[in-house]
Structure 1
Amino acid sequence: MNLSEPRDRALHIHDLYDELNRHERERAWSREGFMLGFMGDVGDPAKLVMAKEGAGPGPGGRAALEHELADCLWSVLIPAHCCQVDLEGAFQRAMAELEAAIRARLAGGGEPE
C-alpha cells in the first residue's frame, strides 16, 4: 500500500490553503482547525447517502459523493502528516486487528478482548 502520491498532492493543496488563509485572514489553519474541518467533511457524504436512501433532503449524485469522499481523504491525510502519523502502517495494523477479531467471532470465539 502506498499513500505517497495522494499524500503529496494533499500537502500541495494544504500549502496553497495556507497561502490563501494568510492572504485573506493573516493566519493559517491550526491542527485543531483541520480536525474541525474533518468533522464537517465526514458529515457531507453521510448527508448525500441519506438523501439517496430517502432519509433526508438534498441534491446528490455520484459526482457529489465522489467529491465529498475525496475531501474526507484529504482531511485524513493532512492531520496524519501534521501529527507525524504513519498512516500506511497504522492502517495495516488496524486492518490486521479487525481481521483477527472478525475471524475469531466467525470461528465462534465471541468478542475478542
Structure 2
Amino acid sequence: MDITEATAKANRLSDLFDELNEANGQKAWTGLDIALGFVGDVGDLVRQVQVAENVRTYPGGREALEHELADCLWSVLMLADRYGVDLAAAYANTMAQMETRLAAKLAAPHEAP
C-alpha cells in the first residue's frame, strides 16, 4: 500500500468515526482532536516500546506495538490530509535537508571543547 492508498483508507476510517460520533451525539473530530488523539497514541506507543525493550511488562506484545505504530500513522496521515500537506513530498524534502545538514557537520573540522 502506498501513501495515497493509506491516506484514502485513513479517510474512510475517519468517516466511520464521524458517523459513530454523530450516532452517539458527539461531534466529528477536528484537526485539533486528531492531534490530541495522536499525543495519546504516542504515549501508548512509548509504553509498547518499553515492553519491546524489556523495560516493563504490559499486555499485548508485538501485536500491540504494531497496533500503536499503525494508530500513530493514521493520525499523521489524517493531519497531513486535513491541512493539505503532501506528506510524501514533505518527507522527501525534510530527509534531504537533514542529510545535507548532517553531511556538512561531518565534513566540518571538529573544534576541541
Percent identity, aligned pairs only, is 45
- Please show how residues 55-74 of structure 1 align to structure 2 within 5 Å: 55-74=55-74
Q: Is the 8 A contact 1:42 1:72 kept in 2?
A: yes
Q: Is the 8 A contact 2:35 2:79 kept in 1?
A: yes
Instruction: After superposition, give the CA deviation of every residue in 1:28-76 in whole Å (9 maximum; x if it has no partner).
Output: 1111111100101111111111123233341242211111101110010
Query: Which segments of 5 or more consecutive residues in structure 2 lack a partner in the other structure?
Result: none
SS of 1:25's equivalent in the other structure is coil
**Matched AA of 2:74:** W
- Give the match for residue 93 of structure 2: 93
- Please show how residues 1-113 of structure 1 align to structure 2 within 5 Å: 2-108=2-108
Distance 1:102 1:36 in 2: 32
Q: Is the 8 A contact 1:48 1:58 kept in 2?
A: yes
Between the two proteins, the alignment pairs up a number of residues equal to 109
TM-score by length of 2: 0.86
**Matched AA of 1:29:** W
Structure 1 residues 109 and 92 mapped into 2: Cα distance closer, same or farther (>3 Å)?
farther
Q: Is the 8 A contact 2:52 2:62 kept in 1?
A: no
Distance 1:103 1:60 in 2: 40
Instruction: After superposition, give the CA deviation of every residue in 1:47-106 in whole Å (9 maximum; x if it has no partner).
Output: 111123233341242211111101110010111111111111111111111111121122
Query: Which segments of 5 or more consecutive residues in structure 1 lack a partner in the other structure?
Result: none
Root mean square deviation of aligned Cα: 1.6
Greater shift in the superposed pair: 50-59 or 65-74 = 50-59
